[in-house]
Amino acid sequence: MTSALEQRDIRAQLAPRRYTTLAAEIGAKVQRLPVVEGAAFRQGQLLVQFDCSLQQAQLNKAQAGVDATEKTWRANQRLAELNSVGKIELDTSQAEWNKARADLSANRSLLGKCQITAPYAGRIAEQKIREQQYAQPGQPLLDIIDDSVLELEFLVPSRWLSWLQPGTAFEVRIDETGKTYPAKVQRLAARVDPVSQSIKVNAAIHGKFPELIAGMSGQVLMAPPAQK
């Protein structure tokens, strides 16, 4: 008996291997967006630069605090050797130095959030903010995708499990280009849908084709092997 799924075209959409939304971790004005929407970037490349003159000033102030409290503590150490300062005063000056160093570390960490770099190579899918606009903490800034491998996700009849497996080669005809491309099954879902008697398949385009971009869709050209 042929299932309803086998009687219609199997459709799939191209999707990036990885995608995410980069958000602001601090409140600051966007100074630069060096990679334009749609452009490619490499891993570690600068994607967002905030105007952090205030954070830099706070860091400089914290560094000055460390220098001053360290001098006080070391001076008290020398006085303590001469029995010219009490233990409480010595311990207090050391505590003040430790606190200043902690403040400096916190300000360095904050300043480190003034730049957002690419977690992986890919492309800018959408730019959600413009240069010179003020970003709030948690505000989405960029949607990025890793399109080094374009994946396909689609449903096939569960009876195909008798022959379908990771590594199975097939072709997909993409509507937008009108061309057919090679693909390979990557993995199968962990369970069968008992209602539709289908299983989800994840596959990937085999090879590099510059004309293909995420969001395109097409027909999966796959059928059970001929019965002998």
- Give pLDDT, residue 8: 64
- Give pLDDT, residue 48: 96
Contact 125, 143 (CB under 8 A): yes
* pLDDT tens digits, one per residue of 63-93: 898 888 888 888 888 887 777 778 888 788 8
Q: Give the H or E element holding residue 53.
A: helix 53-81
Higher-confidence position of 42 and 94: 42
What mean pLDDT is predicted for residues 146-164?
Answer: 92
Residue 228 — very low, low, confident or very high, per pLDDT cuts 50/70/90? Answer: very low
> What separation in angstroms does the CA of 80 have from each of 73, 75, 86, 94, 149?
10, 9, 7, 13, 66
Q: List, as one string, the DSSP characters of 151-192.
A: EEEEEEEGGGGGT--TT-EEEEEETTT--EEEEEEEEE-SS-
What mean pLDDT is predicted for residues 137-148?
Answer: 94
**CA 40/CA 124 separation, integer angstroms:** 7
Q: Is 199 helix (H, G, I), strand (E, B) or coil?
A: strand
Task: Please name the amino acid found at residue 72.
Answer: T
- Give pLDDT, residue 227: 53
**CA 77/CA 72 separation, integer angstroms:** 9
**Computed over its alpha carbons, how large is the radius of gyration of the chain?**
29
